[in-house]
Amino acid sequence: MRKNSSAPHRSGNMYYAPAPTYDGTRAAEFAAAARQRTEQRRKHRSRMLAVFYIFLFLAVIAVAVTLSFTVLFKITNVCVSGISRYSEKQILDASGIKRGDNLFLIHTSASAEKIGQKLPYIGTANVSRKFPTQVEISVKEEPVCGAAAFGNGYIVIGENGKALECAKKCPQGCIVLKGLNISKAQPGFPVAFANSSRAEILRNVMNSVKKNGLSNITEADFSQPSRILLNYDRRVIINFGTSADIDYKLVFAKKLLKENIKSTEKGTLNMSVVSDTNKAYFDPDYGAGSSAPANK
């Protein structure tokens, strides 16, 4: 019987096995497995490099942010522009912004609000960053609308309904505002009215007075919304009725005061029906009887 050449054989006390042999299929399998392991190692290295670069990028960003908040972008100059009764130092102090503060850490809107509250006559304030180390503050004063009796004195009111100042007496040249029913007034903040409609009527009428250039108004009475009264030059009471068509009524009244009513005359100018009839009526203080029409 022929011996199997691949079987282990004994030499003395030792056994020897012949080296295994592989066919073509097994060799291809081993080669594919080797390529797969190589590809896996390559992908693993790629992932590790990606993670490394991500951490490196984040570290650079962290360092940049830290430097920005600690060393860089410190405010060296604050520029204040605009015309107001307050000094540059007063405006700067009210804003809360100081030289040396970080440009990114200041709150521009909050600073602007502080300026308007601490300095009541500032109507609008704008705070903006100017890189790399400057801040610009621009201010605009609130125009005065008039003064209304409140508490033991007067509260000066701005055109936008903001309380500007508490005064013992009505400031000289200020229009006296009556019938507003003010419930709360604190300088630097909007005036609160017992009836919110008064605020709208006040704004509409007084803005129209300014827009149409009707000067020499000394008093404005809003006690009756259906009978709004303006005192012109302390001698002519103008009755506008409601605030409807107030622009047209004011233009009409201005023309009559200039062309039809003498500068020495006193009386009441009724404009309440001018929108419907295109006629106004003037009642002189020294006259009796029926009213005489004052046509445009």
Ranges of each domain in the chain: 27-58, 77-141, 144-295
Domain 77-141 class in CATH: alpha beta
Q: What is d(CA 193, CA 201) in angstroms, rounded to the nearest whole number?
A: 12
Full DSSP string of 128-187 = EEETTTEEEEEEEEPPEEEEEEETTEEEEEETTSBEEEEESSPPTTPPEEES--EEE--T
Full DSSP string of 42-102 = HHHHHHHHHHHHHHHHHHHHHHHHHHHHHTSSB--EEEEES--SS-HHHHHHHHT--TTSB
User: Which pLDDT does position 6 carry in this prediction?
Assistant: 52
pLDDT category at 142 given cuts 50, 70, 90 is: very high
User: Which pLDDT does position 234 carry in this prediction?
Assistant: 95
Q: Which residue has the higher pLDDT, 287 or 83?
A: 83
Q: Which residue has the higher pLDDT, 269 or 25?
A: 269
Of 35-39, 51-55, 100-104, 137-141, where does the model show the most confidence?
137-141
User: Which pLDDT does position 290 carry in this prediction?
Assistant: 39
User: Which pLDDT does position 296 carry in this prediction?
Assistant: 46
Tokens encoding 148: 């209304």
Average pLDDT for 24-50: 75
Q: Is pLDDT at 33 greater than 80 in this prediction?
A: no
CA dihedral 292, 293, 294, 296 (to 10 degrees): -170
Residue labelled with tokens 């007084």: 206
Residue 101, classified by CB atoms within 10 Å of its CB into exposed (0-12), middle (13-18) or buried (19+), is: middle
Model confidence pLDDT, tens digit, residues 53-112: 787 788 777 666 665 556 678 899 999 999 999 999 999 999 999 999 989 889 999 999
Average pLDDT for 219-237: 97
Average pLDDT for 216-241: 97
Average pLDDT for 159-166: 96
Q: What is the value of pTM for the model shown?
A: 0.74
Q: What is d(CA 5, CA 7) in angstroms, rounded to the nearest whole number?
A: 6
Q: Is pLDDT at 141 greater than 90 in this prediction?
A: yes
Least confident of 2-11, 24-33, 105-114, 220-229: 2-11
| CATH code of the domain made up of 144-295 | 3.40.50.11690
pLDDT over 90, % of the chain: 67
Average pLDDT for 221-235: 97
